[in-house]
Structure 1
Amino acid sequence: MQEEKHGFQAEVSRLLDIVAHSLYSDKTVFLRELISNASDACDRLRYLSLTQPELTASDPNFRVTLSADRAARTLTIADNGIGMNHDDLVENLGTIARSGTSAFVGQMTGDAAKDLALIGQFGVGFYSAFMVAERVEVTSRKAGEDQGWRWISEGKGEFTVAPAEVESRGTRITLHLREGEDEFLDSNQLRRVVTKYSDHIALPILLIENGKEHTINAASALWTRPKSEITEAQYAEFYRHTAHSFDSPWLTLHARVEGKIEYTSLLFVPSAKPLDLFHPDRKHCVRLYVRRVFITESCEEVLPAYLRFLRGIIDSEDLPLNISREMLQHNPILAKIRAGVTKRVLNELQKKADSDPEDYTTFWNNFGAVLKEGLYEDSDQRDPILKLARFRSTAGEGLVSLADYVGRMKPGQDAIYYITGDSTEAVARSPQLEGFAARGVEVLLLTDPVDEFWVPAVGLFEGKAFKSVTRGGADLDRIEAPAGETKKSEPPAAGIDNLIALFRLTLKDAVKDVRLSQRLTDSPVCLVADEGDMDIHLERLLKQHRQIEAGAKRVLEINPAHPLVASLAKRIGDNGHGDEVAEAAWLLLDQARIVEGETLPDPAAFSRRLSDVLRRSMAA
């Protein structure tokens, strides 16, 4: 096979352009990334060798080697891990095969500071080499194969792949350094970088000097060391290694469990929200080890899906080393580890919520929408998650807990009221909130799609039912008005019953019913779901995802105290105005639809009616 020329994936080319222009303030992170990748390659081969010992028979001792050549101005990072063949090189070094890539690239702005933050969330791995190198050469031979391969690129849109003579398995990355990057040819600087970033790597990192090899890291798994001997900086670098991220952990959880089952967990909550958190192809990012041997980097059985924001490792003393994917799915030991770790994580989050509510807000804004998935997925942990949950509400700008809400409930109030929608700003303007605001009744503003599903699954909190303000009767008459105010009990305007009858006759099948409203104080009309029908926002979500074709008809509620409604009620008794009132019924229905964010079924008819009303008002 001759040399092949390939173009980089579009996302890679854009990323390389930013990386190559030295976006990072500390370029030394490239070495951390390449050593981390080399360590991962060794971990993967160690696991394969459990069932295929022939793969490592000739060279069983895993290691990463650094060597600098001042004359050639090259730095080489080599490993004796699993290696890559032709297809691996093209796939792994030509694309970013990671969920969230499109979202990542779509958010890049060209502003260095903003894009740095994004890349910090996404990670760049191998491509960080181009921060310091004008050309990168990779030679590799996959374990169990005889043919080696060479990959070369200058990071400018294309790369070449060709066969090569490679003596042994593993990967060798040679960086041809740019002018001005001589610090990475200095042995002392390489030692400092490894000590800072990669001391925790659980295999030897060797530096070749004058033909001799020197181990320059501790070469022991960080999670096996006593907590008292681990610094915050070491924890942070281990987090970046496992998460392939550039931020610092918001919370570090390091625990060893002994008893019937033994395991160690070293888990981190990121301080920034990963871009692929809600991607359909998202994977867990907690690595599973068995007695310090890497098993898998994405074990869905080790943690529930609603904790997928966690990064780090779990190391079991009891699982068999040769455990398969099928065995993981039904293993009782792993089920117990999962239950224990989940409980510990939720307990630690509660401690954080209690001790530092302001900092906890940062966590909730990043991961609250994910954690709430546990409210309908995990009934065993529902109560702890409910206590951790925080919400926006009509009470103010900050977040509130359900305990806060219940403690502020008004005399006569027996439900936790909420409204769902696409954004806090949109739902806060909803006319359905008017009556609640007039009585000082707090309403939770729920804007995550998951809210539509956990609320009916939970049903109650401390004996109080959750009730949507957009469904059924509002029951506001039973709630006491604020001190100094009395609830109005003025009789409806004359003719209001006739107006409702005409609206019902006019709108016919367009609505389920037309009723007087308790919840409106300023707006003339609003749409609500009848008691027992699907919530309006949930129905809209399901329609968008084509889960349902048609929704239930809505109830049009009329505010009898609104001047427009009173005027229409008066006019209905005047000869010659019946048609105008009927036209107003359709206009008001369309107005209610617009406020709800719905698409008008007949925009042309709405436009015509509105033009007629404006024409008549101008002629009056």
Structure 2
Amino acid sequence: MSVEAKKETLGFQTEVKQLLHLMIHSLYSNKEIFLRELISNASDAEDKLRFEALSNDALYENDSDLKIRLEFDKDQGTLSIDDNGIGMVREEVISNLGTIAKSGTAEFLKNLSGDQKKDSSLIGQFGVGFYSAFIVADKVEVVTRKAGVAKEEAVQWISEGDGEFTIATVEKEDRGTRITLHLKEECKEFADGWRLRGLVKKYSDHISFPVVMKSEPMPNPEGEEASPEEPKDETINEATALWTVPRNELKDEDYKEFYKHISHDFQDPLLWSHNKVEGKLEYTSLLYVPARAPFDLYNREAPRGLKLYVQRVFIMDDAEQFLPLYLRFIKGVVDTADLSLNVSREILQSDDAVDSMRSALTKRVLDNLAKLAKNEPEKFASFWKEFGQVMKEGPAEDFNNREKVCKLLRFASTHTGKSDQDQSLDDYIGRMKEGQDKIYYITADNFAAGLSSPHLEVFRKKGIEVLVMYDRIDEWMMSHLFEYDGKSFENVAKGELDLGKVEDEDDKKQVEEASKKFESLLNQLKELLKDQVQDVRVTNRLTDSPACLVVGKNDMGLQMRQIMEAAGQAMPDAKPTFEINPEHPLVGRLNEEQNDDRFNDLAWILFDQANLAGGEHLKDPGSYVSRLNKLLLELTQ
């Protein structure tokens, strides 16, 4: 290879420089993991070439024998990982190895906690596997040529992890990428054939391409001369697509290591499902539920989906058509014989076979999660903590599986009085009072605000359980969820309260009598607050508070309004109903002072307090404070 004049030195982006500094100072608790990452990247490059060659056989350049080669030099202290995959051009080298675009490094750095062990487990999550080379090397050299590009247009990339890298145009006879690590003194152990064989067997045995090394001479018995045989190429991994192996021939460790390969995660998966379908459709699926959420889980536009193979030929990395968006955290592989090898993304989106597979795969994931919830509730609680908010997108997005998704939903509840979301809808229904035909819930900014809401007072009095929903997505979810198991949902802070058969006739009679008794007060409050409320009425939902605000049954709640406004949406005015508790002393005082100068001050204070209790921000907090101080001063005189 000869270096041409086109050579320049560039700087890493700031975040990458920070990451390299962490790498070089041994952020990884397990250094040997670097080999798995680099071999996985090489395997991806081989997969991509095989896919591109489906439509352009010339890319093989008369060499369709795809393999990954490991070479080492003990004397020089170097280790090379060489693939004959797709390769890269200059722009791709700069993009993939020199900037943040492909690495997610900024999010990674944002999530660092300062605990080396915890932080090391984040690296795989952010797809920064290439940089793991700097854990064991003080200099990394990459030479790459893209398939189909002239040998004179290969690219050399060199860095010592010091904030800069050099990139130059070189010659390279064969396509693909060769990464050479100049090992640190304390990492020379990796320039050893037996050590490398052990690591490949441990971490990369499942790679579907051969990992090749020169054979190692066997140690000779003492006194015998060394064998004169020349070392030969030998494959040191099984090189079998793991999903094609029968389940009874695989161990848990095989599944775990394969998951780490396809996900670049360093943590074991929470559960997996390996299934072969034969009949009208033929396909094999291997699906994983991660133990933790990826950093971009809430970015609905981020690449996601399963690895698609057609008869073991790689087709697509992020085939999103096989699972709905709310299951975007699922990792895995689907291999089918029922799609053409040259299938394109457009064809895939409108293929009947894909629709059938999507339906079956979605059902399989939900059924496995239901089994986890039933048989291993602690594991399911861990799953819900990581992915619960995404699962709450399900009822709106997947009508056919709404009931299955609803069975998996978990909420906090007044039954436990704790913020843990560990109560299912089935749990709630099992505890419903005799005569109760609705599932009652309330949405709030946080659990404490929901639990202390005045709207729950009558429910406490009657011993009726209320679900406390405080995730930002909850109100949106409930706008698409109307019933479960024949029971309708009712937001206790919306519309007129209907307790059904749980409410006795005496309660209704008391409200009617109070409405007549306080008719004059209600009319005066309506006149005073006419610009703020649509109605004022006596309520039966309060026992301790003097008043509360109730949103119309079909109006958007506070939580949803705040989300829409934060997104820049202009929201129409929706006036609430002001409800007063006729049994409360403050309401009694207000009724007595209808013609008193203090009436307006008291009425506005009660209204503002109802706003605050409902989680609203006061439009005029200064006036509220002024009125309150005025009354306090009168009390001290």
TM-based fold match above 0.5: yes
Q: 3-state SS of the aligned residue for 1:255?
A: strand
- The residue that corresponds to 2:468 in the other structure is 445
2:403 corresponds, among 383, 404, 424, to 383
Letter aligned with residue 197 of structure 2 = R
**Mapped partners of 1:133, 1:562: distance in 2:** 75
Q: Describe the superposition over 1:538-576 as per-residue Cα deviations: whole angstroms up to 9, x where unpaired.
A: 222222223333331111222222332222223335xxx
Q: Does residue 220 of the first structure (1) align with residue 243 of the second (2)?
A: no
Q: Does residue 346 of the first structure (1) align with residue 366 of the second (2)?
A: yes
Distance change (3 Å), C-alpha of 1:558 and 1:99: farther
1:558 corresponds, among 551, 570, 580, to 580
**Mapped partners of 1:259, 1:351: distance in 2:** 25
- The residue that corresponds to 1:512 in the other structure is 534
Superposed, which structure 2 residues align to 1:154-553 within 5 Å?
A: 154-208=160-214, 212-396=232-416, 397=418, 399-476=422-499, 478-479=501-502, 492=514, 496-553=518-575
Q: 3-state SS of the aligned residue for 2:119?
A: helix
Once the 2 structures are TM-superposed, how far is the Cα of residue 535 of structure 1 from its aligned partner? 2.6
Mapped contact 2:243–2:286 kept (Cα < 8 A)? yes
Q: Does residue 612 of the first structure (1) align with residue 634 of the second (2)?
A: no
Q: 3-state SS of the aligned residue for 2:190?
A: helix
Q: 3-state SS of the aligned residue for 2:578?
A: strand
Letter aligned with residue 338 of structure 2 = D
**Mapped partners of 2:508, 2:529: distance in 1:** 31
Q: 3-state SS of the aligned residue for 1:297?
A: strand
Distance change (3 Å), C-alpha of 1:425 and 1:72: farther
Mapped contact 2:395–2:405 kept (Cα < 8 A)? yes
1:142 corresponds, among 118, 139, 146, to 146
Q: Describe the superposition over 1:397-433 as per-residue Cα deviations: whole angstroms up to 9, x where unpaired.
A: 4512212211211123221111123333332222222
Mapped contact 2:514–2:538 kept (Cα < 8 A)? no
**Mapped partners of 1:510, 1:566: distance in 2:** 22
Mapped contact 2:515–2:537 kept (Cα < 8 A)? no
Distance change (3 Å), C-alpha of 1:365 and 1:440: same
**Mapped partners of 2:430, 2:579: distance in 1:** 31
Letter aligned with residue 557 of structure 1 = E
Overall identity of the aligned pairs, in %? 47
Once the 2 structures are TM-superposed, how far is the Cα of residue 284 of structure 1 from its aligned partner? 1.7
Q: Does residue 592 of the first structure (1) align with residue 598 of the second (2)?
A: no
**Mapped partners of 2:508, 2:109: distance in 1:** 55
Letter aligned with residue 615 of structure 1 = L
Once the 2 structures are TM-superposed, how far is the Cα of residue 97 of structure 1 from its aligned partner? 2.6
Mapped contact 2:305–2:321 kept (Cα < 8 A)? no
Once the 2 structures are TM-superposed, how far is the Cα of residue 493 of structure 1 from its aligned partner? 11
Letter aligned with residue 360 of structure 2 = G
- The residue that corresponds to 1:66 in the other structure is 70
Letter aligned with residue 433 of structure 2 = K
User: How many residue pairs were aligned?
Assistant: 612
TM-score by length of 2: 0.91
Letter aligned with residue 111 of structure 1 = D
Mean alpha-carbon deviation: is it higher for 583-592 or for 178-187? 583-592
- The residue that corresponds to 2:225 in the other structure is none
Mean alpha-carbon deviation: is it higher for 588-597 or for 247-256? 588-597
**Mapped partners of 1:142, 1:461: distance in 2:** 55
Q: Describe the superposition over 1:222-281 as per-residue Cα deviations: whole angstroms up to 9, x where unpaired.
A: 111111111111111100111111111101100000111111001100011111111142
**Mapped partners of 1:71, 1:99: distance in 2:** 33
Mapped contact 2:137–2:181 kept (Cα < 8 A)? yes
Q: Describe the superposition over 1:126-165 as per-residue Cα deviations: whole angstroms up to 9, x where unpaired.
A: 0111111111111111111120111111222222211112
Letter aligned with residue 13 of structure 1 = K
**Mapped partners of 2:524, 2:103: distance in 1:** 55
Q: Describe the superposition over 1:99-125 as per-residue Cα deviations: whole angstroms up to 9, x where unpaired.
A: 965443322233323423433533421
Mean alpha-carbon deviation: is it higher for 536-545 or for 94-103? 94-103
- The residue that corresponds to 2:91 in the other structure is 87
Mapped contact 2:28–2:117 kept (Cα < 8 A)? no
**Mapped partners of 2:177, 2:543: distance in 1:** 71
Distance change (3 Å), C-alpha of 1:493 and 1:55: closer
Once the 2 structures are TM-superposed, how far is the Cα of residue 350 of structure 1 from its aligned partner? 1.6
Mapped contact 1:20–1:131 kept (Cα < 8 A)? yes
**Mapped partners of 1:106, 1:228: distance in 2:** 42
Letter aligned with residue 167 of structure 1 = E
1:568 corresponds, among 586, 590, 609, to 590
Mean alpha-carbon deviation: is it higher for 89-98 or for 52-61? 89-98
Letter aligned with residue 273 of structure 1 = A
Gaps of 5+ in 1: none
Mapped contact 1:514–1:557 kept (Cα < 8 A)? yes
**Mapped partners of 1:8, 1:192: distance in 2:** 34
**Mapped partners of 1:503, 1:105: distance in 2:** 55
Q: Describe the superposition over 1:35-72 as per-residue Cα deviations: whole angstroms up to 9, x where unpaired.
A: 00000000001000000100003211111111111121
Mapped contact 1:77–1:174 kept (Cα < 8 A)? yes
Distance change (3 Å), C-alpha of 1:593 and 1:616: same
Mean alpha-carbon deviation: is it higher for 162-171 or for 396-405? 396-405
Q: 3-state SS of the aligned residue for 2:270?
A: strand
Q: 3-state SS of the aligned residue for 1:110?
A: coil
Mapped contact 1:74–1:185 kept (Cα < 8 A)? yes
Q: 3-state SS of the aligned residue for 2:542?
A: coil
Distance change (3 Å), C-alpha of 1:241 and 1:466: same
- The residue that corresponds to 2:53 in the other structure is 49
Mean alpha-carbon deviation: is it higher for 357-366 or for 176-185? 357-366
Mean alpha-carbon deviation: is it higher for 293-302 or for 452-461? 452-461
Once the 2 structures are TM-superposed, how far is the Cα of residue 480 of structure 1 from its aligned partner? 5.6
- The residue that corresponds to 2:223 in the other structure is none
- The residue that corresponds to 2:226 in the other structure is none
